[in-house]
Amino acid sequence: MVEHVRVAFGTGIVLGLWRGQLAVPPTTAHLLTYHEGRCNANCQFCPQARGSTADPRMLSRVVWPCCDFERVLSAFEEKKGEFVRICIQTVNYEGVVDDVCELATQIKDKCGAPISVSCQPLAADDIKRLAEVGVDRVGIALDAATPELFDRLKGKSVGSSYTWEGHIRALGDVSETFRGKVSTHLIVGLGESEKEMAQAIQLLHDRGITIGLFAFTPIPGTPLANRPQPDVTSYRRIQLARYLIVKGISEAKRTKFEGGKIVDFGASREELCAAVNSGEPFRTSGCLGCNRPFYNESPRGPIYNYPRKPTSKEIAVIRDQLL
């Protein structure tokens, strides 16, 4: 039986579990399964990883305090309508699917918002169980844009059973039950080139997978703690490339690269200006309704994923960066 759950700090403020300032409120409530100890996996950028010595309350740069589940359920009932989506993130441990099914069932009873589950590759039976308890979308984070990076940062090289092929296959397996409702995460800044990232985006888009872009965020206590965050202008090019690919305006094979860097997006100037001026490409991407405010950056900036529509002043800065 689930007694505790971790709640992302911003989500907890909206739920009234604690007080705090919100520059932009989360539109999706983010929860993390609670588990004594660390994850079975060992992703080198993750504070929850088996080999990490980071603060166990952390996921990315966000604190997720452990809460009494009953109290969280009452808060969801009281704050019904505050969120357009609930996202249950998982740590990999024995029995985690049981916990997720219980969390999803009870939360659904209290607030009815669609539920996303972001988890590790699952067995066919477990996928079916998530569908049976009414989960709306499933996400399996690929994180790394190439098989080599995947292996080096979250695969065999770090003592984990995860493989790039295994994750790609798992995304396909989940798509059979959650057709058109499958997401993944890609982290920009793990050592891939813009070309490799654009090709990974195309590969996943061609499989009907929704892509949530993240900017690498160094966390103290993880092996990548001293790695810098990605260059913002490079991140903007990737955001624009993802948008053009997902909207069917361009493709990775029509995008031109020099030294692995995007130099031509394979779209007309009119299409580029329309996309940039809309600001949409630079907003948080992923499941519908997921804005993940300041998951990868401080509100003081620089902002990688805008959790709201960028202002015209911000778009002017982005235009100068890109064009």
Positions that interact with ligand SF4 (CB under 6 A): 28, 85, 87, 116, 118, 139, 183, 185, 212, 286-287, 290, 292
> What's the min distance (Å) between Cβ of 190 and ligand SF4?
17
> What's the min distance (Å) between Cβ of 278 and ligand SF4?
20
Closest by alpha carbon to 242, among 234, 250, 230? 250
> What's the min distance (Å) between Cβ of 87 and ligand SF4?
3
> What's the min distance (Å) between Cβ of 258 and ligand SF4?
31
Q: Which is nearer to ligand SF4, 174 or 252 (CB)?
A: 174
Q: How far is CA 62 from the centre of its chain?
A: 13
Beta strands in 175-311 (DSSP E): 182-188, 210-215, 256-258, 261-264
Q: Which is nearer to ligand SF4, 57 or 185 (CB)?
A: 185
DSSP annotation of 96 reads H
> What's the min distance (Å) between Cβ of 23 and ligand SF4?
19
Residue of minimal Cβ distance to ligand SF4: 286
- Cα-based torsion angle of the residue sequence 114, 290, 10, 63 in order, rounded to the nearest 10 degrees: 100
Q: Which is nearer to ligand SF4, 136 or 194 (CB)?
A: 136
Q: Which is nearer to ligand SF4, 100 or 272 (CB)?
A: 100
Q: Which is nearer to ligand SF4, 116 or 255 (CB)?
A: 116
Which tokens belong to 117? Answer: 């589950």
Question: How far apart are the C-alpha atoms of 307 and 208, rounded to whole Å?
Answer: 24
> What's the min distance (Å) between Cβ of 60 and ligand SF4?
10
Q: How far is CA 297 from the centre of its chain?
A: 14
- Cα-based torsion angle of the residue sequence 189, 151, 183, 263 in order, rounded to the nearest 10 degrees: 40
Q: Which is nearer to ligand SF4, 187 or 224 (CB)?
A: 187
Task: Return left, alpha or beta for 26; rule: phi > 0 is left, psi -120 to 50 is alpha, else beta.
Answer: beta
